Amino acid sequence: MKRGTTASILRYVRPKAFPTPFCPGCGHGILMGAILRAVDELGLDFSQMLFVSGIGCAGWIPSPHYDTDTLHVTHGRAVAFATGAIKFNPALKVVVIGGDGDIASIGGNHLIHAARRNVDLTVICANNLIYGMTGGQVTPTTPLGARTITTPMGNVEPPFDLSRLVAAAGATYVARYSVWHVRPLIASLKKALQRTGFSFIEVLSSCPTQYGRRNEQPSPAEMLRAFKANCVTLERAKGMSAEELAGKTLIGEFVG
């Protein structure tokens, strides 16, 4: 069987776990598949992989779907739980998956400290710019001006540039893509999974239910097209002016 295909990656999924709990149009399913495709293409021993996730929609990407050891923990603390597991058993391949609220807000301190001490983890942040599960509240990555249920007049607090934050904290590999950019995302996941040390991938994901419908992108397809339109690769950005880059999101490898 050709590796990386849908038929091939089904072997890594618990049959009992379907249907998924995700809303129609949620980007997390694309990321769920992309991670398994990267694992499959690399031929990693799935039984030696541990997926740790916290509370939030993205926490459900591995738990219960992935058919290996999964640890679904308290809100924000996945990186800290994962640190204990990898430090005690370095033979494990430990991956943390979480949303922007989980990883960057309540878990922000654990994130930068794990990057600083270069813990051998791959952290994947499914950044949908919103607290989805709890009803659409503002997060530390919600863009300025965006409407959420707790910023009804538009967000007035500047967001974190997560990738740059984690790069500054000392991660050995940092990249950002979106669920539109599936092929470079899979290539990036493969790179991160092969690294020793702290690797971080920020994946812009679509939440039409809580984010899109409040911000003039009510359909899933529109949200994906917006990723395509608004993302600029780091290479292309080098030749663009500040005016041209206004409102754009940089994607690519921040630390290669």
Partner 1 sequence: MSSNLWNLYPKCKQQGSRIALQDAGCQEREAGSQMSEETTSIPSNRWTSAPSLLKPGPFFMQGDEACAEGAIAAGCNYYAGYPITPASEIMERICQRFAGLPGRVFMQMEDEIASIASVVGASWAGARAMTATSGPGLSLMLENIGYAIITETPCVVVDVQRAGPGTGQATRPGQGDVMQARWGAHGDYEIIVISPWSVQELYDETIRAFNLADRFRVPVMLLTEEGVGHLRESLRIPEQTPFYSRLTDPTRPPFGEAEVPPMPAFGAGAKLLVTGSTHDAWGYRKTVSSEAQATLVERLASKILNHRGEIERTHTHCCDEEELDVLLVAYGFTARSALGAVRLAREAGIKAGLLRLTTLWPFPEETVRRVAARARRVLVPEMNRGQMLREVQRVTPQTTGYHRTDGEVITASEVWAAVRKELAA
Question: Which of 157, 170, 181, 186 has its CA nearest to residue 234?
Answer: 181
Question: CB of residue 196 vs partner 1: minimum separation in angstroms?
Answer: 17
Which of 49/186 has CB closer to partner 1? 49
Contact yes or no for 112/169 (Cβ under 8 A): yes
Question: CB of residue 237 vs partner 1: minimum separation in angstroms?
Answer: 33
161 belongs to the binding site for partner 1 (CB under 8 A): no
Pairing label, strands 49-53, 199-204: unpaired
64 belongs to the binding site for partner 1 (CB under 8 A): yes
247 belongs to the binding site for partner 1 (CB under 8 A): no
Question: CB of residue 167 vs partner 1: minimum separation in angstroms?
Answer: 19
Question: Which of 166, 39, 181 has its CA nearest to residue 115?
Answer: 166
Q: How far is CA 57 from the centre of its chain?
A: 11
Contact yes or no for 218/212 (Cβ under 8 A): yes
Question: CB of residue 30 vs partner 1: minimum separation in angstroms?
Answer: 22
11 belongs to the binding site for partner 1 (CB under 8 A): no
Which of 119/203 has CB closer to partner 1? 119
Which of 59/252 has CB closer to partner 1? 59
Which of 115/124 has CB closer to partner 1? 115
Rg (CA), the chain: 17
- Which amino acid makes up residue 120? D
Please work out the total of residues on this chain that contact partner 1, with binding judged by CB under 8 A. Answer: 32
84 belongs to the binding site for partner 1 (CB under 8 A): yes
How crowded is residue 223: how many other Cβ atoms within 10 Å of its Cβ? Answer: 26
| 78/100 Cα distance (integer angstroms) | 12
Binding mask 107-146 for partner 1 (x = CB under 8 A): --xx--x---------------------------------
**Quick one: tokens of 205?**
């994901």
3-state secondary structure of 175: strand
| Sites of contact with partner 1 (CB under 8 A) | 14, 16, 47-48, 50, 52, 63-64, 67-74, 77, 80-89, 91-92, 109-110, 113
